[in-house]
Amino acid sequence: MAIDYGSKRVGLAYADTALGVAVPIPAAVENSAEGRLEHVAREIKARKIDMLVVGYPLNMDGSAGDKAREVDEYISLVEQKFSLPVARADERLSSFQAESDMRFLSSKKSKSVYARKKYRKSGDIDSRAAAIFLQEYLDMRRIGGEEPL
């Protein structure tokens, strides 16, 4: 399962490893960090997850900045809480790609500022971003047999 960590929303995606396909699932958008973590816990249990792939927000030059350090703290918390292996996946431009995809796939009305805010608030873009970097992670492992980061 992929996690696109954010301080207000946590995008989630699930991998059907038999098919090698990543699909977005409902984001954790609860009002508290604890609520969002419990949402993640429910998905892990319901889907019998055995590994997590967390989006790692590298800068465009490949360096790790403040947001990456924040994600490192979240990864430590997740590792302690769930006792699952965690891999980091480069998430550069995944949110941009997700928003572009959703605009393309949606009606003309969804191109409005209101619709973009609705997608952001619902976590749909975050979960789509998680599916994008999870798919890239799956493809890299299948093709190269190695971890991306």
Q: At what angle are helices 124-144 and 94-105 packed, to 10 degrees? A: 120
Give the model's confidence band at 145: pLDDT under 50 very low, under 70 low, under 90 confident, else very high: low
Does pLDDT of 119 surpass 70?
Answer: no
Q: Which two tokens stand for residue 88?
A: 């980091």
Alpha-carbon dihedral sign for residues 19, 126, 90, 40: negative
Q: For residues 104 and 142, what is the distance between their CA atoms, to the nearest angstrom?
A: 28
DSSP structure class, residue 60: T
> What pairs with residue 22 in β-bridges?
15
> By the 8 A CB rule, do 126 and 10 touch?
yes
CA distances from 35 to 31, 39, 148 (A): 7, 6, 30
pLDDT by residue (tens digit) across 83-100?
999 999 987 655 545 555
Does pLDDT of 114 surpass 90?
Answer: no
pLDDT by residue (tens digit) across 21-69?
999 999 999 999 999 999 999 999 999 999 999 999 887 788 888 889 9
